[in-house]
């Protein structure tokens, strides 16, 4: 049946075939549906198509409670937070904006399930690769989500980089960037080489992160027992499906805190001693220069200063004395 006709029929409503039991009114859920409105156990929607195609599916909202439920549906994009957790931005620009529901607001009677058809209209200029999205259902103060894994046909590129590696006292921090067009589940291997050999060697292991196309995440690799005194070269190697791989390295010195303080004090002492030595050298040089200047004047042999300022007499000439009588001896 064409989607336009199904939209006119609105959402189908089916009574749940269960005996009346005590169920909390807020114990509702949203799940994928198979043909005929039966829940097929899929954890999420998977759709694949070329740019310009329109994909169709059905979502089910189950209300096992004892009173009616009004649910509002909307499409959303899915992205990574800075620490790698998944999130849904308030405003959809990709897959979430391409979703159209047969009915956005659905009223579901007690102990009933509503099956709501929807379409995903892929724009003709969409980049090939993975475009993760979600369907969000909101009711009674809470929101539930079901993922949509959409792959647009065409050539894909798995690629990633490792950046900003930093070595701390108890961990190694780094950033992963998905520079390709597919969702990646990366694996990390770590190796550290010290002055006297290897100090860390960890085999590749899957990281607890789903790295979406174009996203950057910051992660920490625990290192609770680094060397106490060593200089290390740390190398990170990351791989992912499709042949994506990247490497990055960093260097660091590990020095005990007591040794660092002692070294700092010793450095200050050396600097202070050097400064004092320089000051004494300068003072001594000035004193020596002053003495030489005086000796340069007094060192003229046979000459001394007498009489009025500026007069010079030869010490080798007979001394004359002038008496008050005016006679000269």
Look up the pTM and report it. 0.70
Question: H/E element holding 282?
Answer: helix 257-298
In this structure, the number of other CB atoms found within 10 A of the CB of residue 245 comes to 15
Q: For the segment 5-20, what is each residue's pLDDT rounded down to a tens digit?
A: 344 344 455 545 444 4
Average pLDDT on 128-135 reads 98
- pLDDT at position 6 is 42
Q: What is the pLDDT of residues 239-298, one digit of tens each?
A: 999 999 999 999 999 988 654 444 444 455 455 555 555 655 665 666 656 545 545 544
Q: Using 50, 70 and 90 to split pLDDT, how confident is the model at 143?
A: very high
How crowded is residue 203: how many other Cβ atoms within 10 Å of its Cβ?
A: 9
- Cα–Cα distance measured from residue 36 to residue 117, given in angstroms and rounded to the nearest whole number: 11
In this prediction, residue 112 carries a pLDDT of 94
- What per-residue string of b and e applies to 260-287 under the rule 16 or more CB within 10 Å gives b? eeeeeeeeeeeeeeeeeeeeeeeeeeee
Share of the chain above pLDDT 70, in %: 68
What does the pLDDT look like over 181-235, one tens digit per residue?
999 999 999 999 999 999 999 999 999 999 999 999 999 999 999 999 999 999 9
Q: What is the mean pLDDT of the chain?
A: 81
Write the CA distances from 127 to 46, 123, 180, 271, integer angstroms: 18, 9, 11, 62
Q: What is the pLDDT of residue 42?
A: 86
């Amino acid at each position: 049946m064409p989607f336009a006709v199904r939209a006119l029929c609105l959402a189908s409503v089916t009574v749940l075939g269960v005996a009346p039991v005590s169920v909390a009114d807020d114990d509702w859920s949203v799940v994928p549906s198979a043909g005929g409105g039966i829940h097929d156990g899929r954890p999420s929607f998977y759709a694949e198509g070329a740019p310009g195609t329109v994909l169709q599916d059905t979502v089910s909202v189950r209300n096992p409670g004892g009173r009616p439920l009004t649910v509002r549906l909307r499409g959303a994009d899915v992205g990574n937070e800075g620490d790698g957790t998944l999130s849904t931005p308030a405003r959809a620009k990709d897959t979430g904006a391409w979703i159209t529901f047969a009915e956005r607001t659905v009223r579901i009677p007690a102990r009933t399930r509503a099956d709501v058809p929807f379409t995903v209209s892929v724009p003709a200029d969409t980049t090939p690769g993975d475009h993760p999205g979600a369907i969000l259902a909101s009711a009674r103060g809470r929101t539930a989500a079901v993922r949509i894994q959409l792959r647009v046909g065409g050539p894909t590129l798995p690629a990633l980089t490792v950046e900003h590696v930093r070595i701390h006292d108890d961990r190694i921090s780094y950033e992963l960037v998905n520079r390709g067009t597919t969702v990646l589940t990366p694996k990390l291997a770590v190796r550290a080489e010290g002055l006297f050999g290897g100090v860390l060697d960890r085999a590749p292991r899957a990281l607890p992160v789903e790295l979406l196309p174009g996203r950057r995440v910051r992660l920490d690799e625990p290192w609770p027992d680094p060397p106490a005194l060593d200089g290390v070269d740390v190398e990170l190697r990351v791989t992912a499906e499709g042949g994506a791989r990247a490497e990055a390295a960093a260097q660091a010195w590990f020095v005990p805190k007591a040794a660092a303080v002692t070294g700092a004090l010793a450095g200050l002492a050396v600097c202070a001693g050097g400064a004092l030595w320089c000051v004494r050298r300068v003072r001594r040089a000035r004193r020596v220069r002053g003495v030489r200047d005086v000796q340069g004047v007094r060192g003229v042999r046979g000459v001394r200063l007498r009489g009025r300022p500026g007069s010079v007499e030869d010490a080798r000439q007979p001394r004359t004395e002038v008496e008050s009588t005016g006679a000269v001896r």
